[in-house]
Structure 1
């Protein structure tokens, strides 16, 4: 089972928001200044592209943790390569490897966040499977979401074709006329 449309975009957006917020917060605390807006936007774009590419089927903890930790270290180096907010001129990038304390902070924060994201991933997929099975109280909500969020507005033929189905009369009513649906528009 894969998620399509709005579900996929929302999962990628949540992952990007959590990953970027965590990285900006850790970097601000460790460096004493916030990364610049261009660095944050570049990081958001890169993480969103990767997250959207991976947001198809349900992901398990090892995949979420690996991508999150990779993104954390990638964002760290991106934030170091570009000037910090309020600093003009040279970038703060250095070729010195990460201090052990910073590596540990990224690992712990990344793994705890990956556990949290995995819980959200499991809950979202559990809800989607529950709705797909047609649980009676949510059946109306499921079809409403399908019509409004997943079926694109550029393809109204999908909705119209369902309304124009041919209704066949019962065997005893063969010569009766059944007209269902909205009245045809008149020239007046």
Structure 2
């Protein structure tokens, strides 16, 4: 197996590329859907590069959910600002004498980016968990994986029994020792005075 470790640079680049693609496609699609116009390819590339560098920096270890959610939401806000400032619709709005309102991150737009960033961050986290699990399983080898899948996760071994002498131990002498060790439970028996 060529890429055994999730920390391998090529695998980190691939994972960062997936993160950047998800963030840029969702943000550019949402930008165009909200009436912001099309984003120039150079700006899409710049946004993807920024998201990819950020994701590569975070991909050295297995990311926690809150880290991916924060990164995804922050990347969505950053891409929104980048796309809003460079979209082709800005020139059209200025030609018509109107001011583009899309460039401002208002309450509604912030809420949309928060929801989309949360969903994509959760989805990316699930993918990361799956990749790390898959690579751990591949590192174990096929025989170990099959053994675990078939229910024999750990070999059953019998414990080694050793007799250790106790200092001052006496041999068993009969019924009296057992009788004195028995304790009765319950309320005390009342005796009538007569």
- TM-score bracket relative to the smaller structure: 0.5 to 0.7
- 5+ unaligned residues in a row in structure 1: which ranges? 139-188
Answer yes or no: is the 8 Å Cα contact 1:33–1:85 preserved in 2.
yes
Q: Helix, strand or coil for the counterpart of 1:10?
A: helix
Alignment CA distance shift 1:44-1:81 (3 Å): same
Equivalent residue, structure 1, for 2:143: 136
Equivalent residue, structure 1, for 2:168: none
Which of the numbers 27, 44, 49 marks the counterpart of 1:45?
49
| Residue range with higher mean Cα deviation, 71-80 or 27-36 | 27-36
Equivalent residue, structure 2, for 1:156: none
The structural deviation recorded for 1:87 is 4.7
CA distance in 2, matches of 1:74, 1:32: 15
CA-to-aligned-CA distance 1:87-135 (integer Å, 9 cap, x gap): 5797x87797422111111111110111111110000000011111223
The structural deviation recorded for 1:23 is 0.6
CA distance in 1, matches of 2:41, 2:66: 31
Answer yes or no: is the 8 Å Cα contact 1:61–1:115 preserved in 2.
yes
The structural deviation recorded for 1:30 is 1.1
**Number of residue pairs the alignment of both structures matches:** 138
Q: Helix, strand or coil for the counterpart of 1:136?
A: helix
- 5+ unaligned residues in a row in structure 2: which ranges? 146-194
TM-score using structure 1 length: 0.64
Root-mean-square deviation (CA), in Å?
A: 2.9
Say which one has the larger Rg: 2
Describe how 1:146-157 pairs up with structure 2 within 5 A.
none
Over 3 Å off, 4+ runs: 85-90, 92-97
Describe how 1:1-188 pairs up with structure 2 within 5 A.
3-84=7-88, 87=91, 97-136=104-143
